[in-house]
Structure 1
Amino acid sequence: MANLRGNPKQPTSYVLVAASSSFLVNVLHFFLSAKARKASGLKYPIPYATEEQAAKDPKAYAFNCTQRAHGNFVENQTPFLGALLISGLHYPTAAAALGAAWVAARAAYAVGYAKRGPQGRVAGFLVSSLSDLVLKGMALWTSVQFAMAAYT
């Protein structure tokens, strides 16, 4: 059986740090959404303010922004984790660096969207999207290399 502790001096350890730090971004989203929900006065189980509420009340609009940011994060976290872990099998240092960039950018996306609305998410979006795209390319290439090695 493999040693589950691993070698903390190996670059693959940093891939795991990047992966697990993404969970903290989800916690950040929870706090941002909870704060905005309380400020807006919208009660559970309402997932979003209506269009009319958001148009009349800046706090309801801000709540919608935090909810949408959180939804977007949840939509993107699983594919990110898959790409990170697969690419980390062959390119651990690059994958860890790109993973860290993605996590930091997603935190900036969350805070920017919560504070400034859709325009506040642009920088975080650009960095996270670029990091994610490169990770997915590396994951695909890693998979192809593994498949080719299986037939040689």
Structure 2
Amino acid sequence: MSLSITLPKEYGYVLLTATATFFVSTWHGMRVAPFRKAAKMPYPNAYATTSDIDKADSEERKKAMYLFNCAQRAHANFMENYNSTLPAILIAGLKFPLTSAAVGAVWTVCRVLYARGYTRADKEQGKGRYAGMAFWLCQAVLYGMTGWMGVQMFM
């Protein structure tokens, strides 16, 4: 049995959007390092614990540890969502290439806004991340398009 898939001409946009997510993923990982350095958190500690923060020698270091945790959490949140969103972009793009590429691009921008907002020193309790929360809507649209493709295959 042979199976062939014909990709729409516009699928190149989908691949460019997917490529952009690779760079944002790398950026997330690299972005944590300066926050780690400022917090003076040694490897392999993934986060500053409450006791680490309580023992900090200054308010500035406590804030640096808090922001390090925020940077780590933004990166972790990205990774938690990336493993289902990237395939959704690629799969939905088979039938809806322009929409998938556009929604995927907005998702990518929102992930940058989320990470940058989460680590804003002037925002308390990570509330700056709200700037990029539209990524959830983008994910829902991508998941919906992918699911709709499956439904259409059975109809």
Q: TM-score range by the shorter chain?
A: 0.7 to 0.9
Cross-structure match for 2:114: 109
Mapped partners of 1:65, 1:43: distance in 2: 16
Aligned counterpart, 1:84: 89
C-alpha deviation, 1:82, in angstroms: 1.6
Equivalences, count: 140
- More displaced stretch, 23-32 vs 95-104: 23-32
RMSD, matched Cα: 1.6
Among 71, 78, 94, the alignment partner of 1:73 is 78
TM-score (norm 1): 0.86
Q: Which is helix-richer, 1 or 2? A: 1
Contact 1:40-1:60 at 8 Å conserved across structures: yes
Q: Which runs of 4+ in 1 moved over 2 A?
A: 52-56
1:144 alignment partner AA: V
Query: How far, CA to CA, are the matches of 2:53 and 2:86 in structure 1?
Result: 33
Superposed displacement of residue 123, structure 1: 2.0
Specify the alignment match of 1:25 in structure 2: 24
Select the residue among 142, 146, 150 that pairs with 2:153.
146
Match of 1:3 in 2: none
Q: Provide the C-alpha distance between the structure 1 equivalents of 2:115 and 2:25, rounded to a whole number of angstroms.
A: 9
Q: Structure 1: state its 5+ residue gaps.
A: 1-5
1:18-66: CA deviation from partner (whole Å, max 9, x where unpaired): 1111111112212221010000000100110011333551000000000
Match in the other structure for 2:99: 94
Could you tell me which of 110, 114, 129 is aligned with 1:121? 129
Counterpart amino acid of residue 102 in structure 2: A
Structure 2 stretches of 5 or more lacking a match? Answer: 1-6, 57-61
Q: Which moved further from structure 2: 136-145 or 26-35? A: 26-35
Instruction: Say which is worse superposed, 87-96 or 19-28, in terms of deviation.
Output: 19-28
Residues 72-130 of structure 1, C-alpha deviations (whole Å, 9 max, x = no match): 000000100121111111100100000000000001111111224510111201x1111
Amino acid at match of 2:15: L
Judge conservation of contact 1:15–1:88 (CA < 8 Å) in 2.
Answer: yes
Q: TM-score, normalized by length of structure 2?
A: 0.84
